Amino acid sequence: MEPRSAAATGKDFPYTARTTCYIEVHKDGTVTHGNDPAAYERAVAGKSRLFAVWPGEWSSHLFVIDDLDEYAKAHGIKHDEERTGLKEHIHDVRWEPNPYAKDSPRSPYIGVSITLNCGCSIQDLRAFAAHMQEQRGWTVATSGGWGSSSGPGGTRYSLRVRRKSLAD
Ligand SMILES: [Zn+2]
């Protein structure tokens, strides 16, 4: 079976879908499963080739990962402004405790309301959480609900941040 080209499917390729499984074929012929930044490094260095099985409704298709840049952006190995809505800069963040969040005083996380004055938008909470960890030492909850609402003052995001990390 000839593998198809993932690059040819463009942005529609389900790089991060739970059902997509990755196969790495190493130069010595060994085959391993899974994907991580190390696999990406090996593929870039030409030490291995990455393939993905995309299970279809009736049959599965084998794709060669021939656009490693796109693969890396999809997996967050490389930053992607388009996907995340976030520039790689120090964000101008305005925040306040969310007055509508009903947090118990003992809850380790509190709801905060955030606006980004730098023009960025949050499309990928994990990417934003990583930036906030790096820039402000915040631990943003990435599991559970978050939301956004647009108003005259711009887009407000409601997120949950670890109380202790806000105070430090
Ligand atoms: Zn920004």
Q: Over the stretch 49-98, which tens digit does the pLDDT of each residue have?
A: 999 998 777 778 899 999 999 999 988 889 999 889 999 999 999 999 98
How would you classify the pairing of strands 4-5 and 60-64?
Answer: parallel
CA dist., res. 66 & res. 79, Å (int): 19
Helix (H, G, I), strand (E, B) or coil at 104: coil
Judgement on whether residues 100 and 156 belong to the same structural domain of the protein: yes
Partners of 99 in beta bridges: none
Judgement on whether residues 114 and 70 belong to the same structural domain of the protein: no
Å from CA of 62 to ligand 1 middle: 38
Judgement on whether residues 89 and 74 belong to the same structural domain of the protein: no
What is the pLDDT at residue 1? 64
Work out whether the CA dihedral 2, 72, 80, 139 comes out positive or negative: positive
Judgement on whether residues 94 and 155 belong to the same structural domain of the protein: yes
What is the pLDDT at residue 23? 95
Token pair belonging to 54: 């995309």
Judgement on whether residues 92 and 65 belong to the same structural domain of the protein: no
CB atoms within 10 A of CB 98: 19
- pLDDT-based confidence at residue 168 (cuts at 50, 70, 90): low
Å from CA of 7 to ligand 1 middle: 29
Q: Domain of residue 55: give its range.
A: 4-78
Query: Which long-range contacts link 32-39 to residues 24+ away (Cβ below 8 Å)?
Result: 35/75, 37/75, 37/77
pLDDT, mean over the chain: 91
pLDDT for residue 114 is more than 70: yes
What is the pLDDT at residue 134? 95
Å from CA of 39 to ligand 1 middle: 30
CA dist., res. 158 & res. 161, Å (int): 10
CB atoms within 10 A of CB 10: 9
Å from CA of 112 to ligand 1 middle: 18
Judgement on whether residues 157 and 128 belong to the same structural domain of the protein: yes
Report the range of poorest mean pLDDT among 28-37, 69-78, 100-109, 119-128: 100-109
Number of domains in the chain: 2
Provide the residues around ligand 1 (an ion) whose CB is within 5 A: 87, 91, 118, 120
pLDDT for residue 11 is more than 80: no
